[in-house]
Amino acid sequence: FSKKYKPALRFYDETMSASFRYRFDLEQGLRKALIDSELQVYYQPFYAPGSGELVGAEALVRWPDKTGFVSPADFIPVAESTGQIRALGALVLKRACCDTRLLSEQLGKKLVIAVNVSPVQFASNDIIADLQEAINISGIDATQVVLEITEGVFIGQIAGAARLLEEVVAMGVRLSMDDFGQGYSSLSYLRMHPFSFLKIDKLFIQGMVQSPQDYALVQASVAMAQALQLGIVAEGVETREQLEMLESLSVDYAQGFYLARPMAFDEYQKVANIKHV
Ligand code: C2E
Ligand code: CA
Ligand code: CA
Ligand code: CA
């Protein structure tokens, strides 16, 4: 990786606060992880609820440590603030596209690969080159690639991000609005930008069986997605009841621990032949 993306080397100092120290450790650890190729990509399959057919998977970055994995919820924000997210993002895109191309060949069926992209990656043009490179190197069809983005992408840099989203879509890559329902502005962004999918936040999927409010929100999201001709994805499906409810609501794709956990590529290859009905 070019020097530009590496944070400056710093040394410990007794005056560092505990939280700063924690971030410092993550930043230095991540620096090493990027250089030594310690990061892995896991895949969490998603299925069509009615037929149980495998549609594709979401790529989720994994950083192994002595006890298991460092949580992305901890290190992604650090990577975003240091600029390391660019190298990390490019790596995940490339790995995910190459693995998906291979498995698609093996299955004789074009699987979708959904990759999480940080709003920070839309602060420069780099995302276009990184995406193009991942597609070229892997030989995957651009139409198999979906970028999952949150409404954070529009905050503070709306003009630049909007242009980049148009460029991504012009390449044939599709966009999915992640964590839908969590923010306040997703609705207006859906109207203004070329999204193909809406991914309902797991908070609402998990609440929908008990809470009439959550059910109503999921139902309204599905109706709206249909009116706007967007595909609808439900994440965080943990029970059979939730899955059946989503099927009755005609959700297009379902994903969650009930169906499959995030897994290494060799395991993804093994489950790819199994239907989840
Ligand atoms: P996300 O994009 O909303 O991803 C969904 C998270 O929910 C994942 O956590 C996944 O393992 C977890 N999950 C999946 N099914 C279930 C379920 O049934 N129940 C519950 N309780 N959780 C479920 P993970 O892998 O820890 O990732 C957390 C977040 O970190 C992601 O949220 C995403 O925002 C970010 N992230 C992960 N990988 C990447 C990456 O490669 N690039 C970027 N920019 N962000 C990433
Ligand atoms: Ca996601
Ligand atoms: Ca999500
Ligand atoms: Ca999230």
Question: Which three-class secondary structure state does DSSP give residue 274?
Answer: coil
Res. 3 pLDDT band, cuts 50 70 90 = very low
Task: Identify residues whose C-beta is under 5 A from ligand 3, the ion.
Answer: 178-179
* DSSP strands (E only) in 65-134: 69-70, 112-116
Q: What token pair was written down for 43?
A: 């895949």
What is Dmax (Cα atoms) for the chain?
Answer: 59
Residue 114's DSSP bridge partners are: 58, 146
Mean pLDDT of 59-63: 98
Centre of ligand 2 to C-alpha 9, Å, is 31
Confidence of residue 2 (pLDDT cuts 50, 70, 90): very low
ipTM greater than cut 0.90: yes
Neighbours of 211 (CB within 10 A): 13
CA of 34 to the centre of ligand 4 (A): 23
Ligand 1 pocket test: which of 80, 116, 261 has the largest number of ligand atoms within 8 Å of its C-beta? 116
Query: For 130, left (φ over 0), alpha (ψ -120 to 50), or beta?
Result: alpha
**Confidence label for 158 from pLDDT (cuts 50, 70 and 90):** low
Helix-helix angle 72-82:84-107, to 10 degrees = 120
Q: Where are the beta strands (DSSP E) in 122-182?
A: 145-149, 174-180
Is ligand 1 within 6 A of the CB of residue 60? yes
- pLDDT tens string 220-264: 999 999 999 999 999 999 999 999 999 999 999 999 999 999 999
Give residue for tokens 């190729």: 37
> Given ligand 1 and candidates 30, 47, 60, which is best to mutate, with the most ligand atoms within 8 Å of its CB?
60
